[in-house]
């Protein structure tokens, strides 16, 4: 196990690599003729292991910063990130990709990795207006 400052640098290099390759794939998709499009968009609920405010902010910003994936909203009470992906073949694929990024980020942000458990069941949600809320 590397010491903490080196883990941060390692994560930055890993993220930079992901960032460039995601940019290339989105650019290629825009330039590709519509008939050969590989686009498979989806909005997926990803269980997350983040706990503190700064971790939630960082993971959702990092996801949005990677072109092709976009955090639409988070649910802190259920521990869920709602992520829109551009090239999603299956639900599990996007979940694994996001959770790998989150694992690496948490290892870089926390001095000791600590609790990395994620909620296993998706929450039962209902439309906001049933409760008369306005958001």
Partner 1 sequence: MTLTDFADILGLVFIFLGIATIVISAIGLFKLPDLYLRASAVGTSAGLGVASIVFGALLMDFSGLNLIKAIIAIIAQLLTSAVGSMAIARAGYLNNALPAAITHIDELAMTRRSESRS
Residues that bind partner 1 (CB under 8 A): 19-20, 23, 26-27, 29-31, 34, 39-45, 60-62, 64-73, 82, 84, 86, 88, 91, 122, 125-129, 135
Decide whether 2 or 39 has the Cβ nearer to partner 1: 39
Smallest gap from Cβ 114 to partner 1, in A, equals 25
CB-hemisphere CA count at 13 Å for 125?
14
Count of CB atoms situated within 10 Å of the CB of 87:
18
68 vs 79 by CB, closer to partner 1:
68
- Taking the complex as a whole, the smallest distance from the CB of residue 1 to partner 1 amounts, in Å, to 28
Identity of the residue, 56 or 113, whose beta carbon is nearer to partner 1 in the bound complex: 56
H helices within the chain, ranges in order? 4-31, 53-65, 91-109
3-class SS shares of the chain: helix, strand, coil, % to 5: 50, 15, 35
Q: Which helix (H) or strand (E) holds 72?
A: strand 69-75
CB of 110 to partner 1, least distance (A): 21
């Amino acid at each position: 196990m590397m010491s903490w400052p080196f883990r941060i640098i390692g994560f930055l290099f890993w993220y930079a690599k992901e960032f460039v390759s995601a940019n290339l794939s989105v650019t290629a998709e825009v330039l590709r003729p519509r008939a050969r499009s590989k686009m498979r968009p989806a909005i997926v609920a990803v269980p997350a292991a983040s706990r503190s405010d700064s971790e939630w902010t960082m993971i959702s910003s990092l996801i949005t910063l990677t072109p092709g994936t976009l955090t639409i909203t988070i649910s802190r009470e259920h521990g869920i990130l709602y992520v829109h992906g551009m090239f999603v073949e299956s639900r599990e694929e996007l979940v694994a990709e996001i959770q790998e990024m989150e694992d690496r980020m948490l290892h870089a942000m926390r001095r000791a990795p600590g609790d990395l458990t994620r909620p296993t069941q998706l929450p039962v949600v209902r439309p906001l207006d049933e409760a008369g809320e306005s958001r």
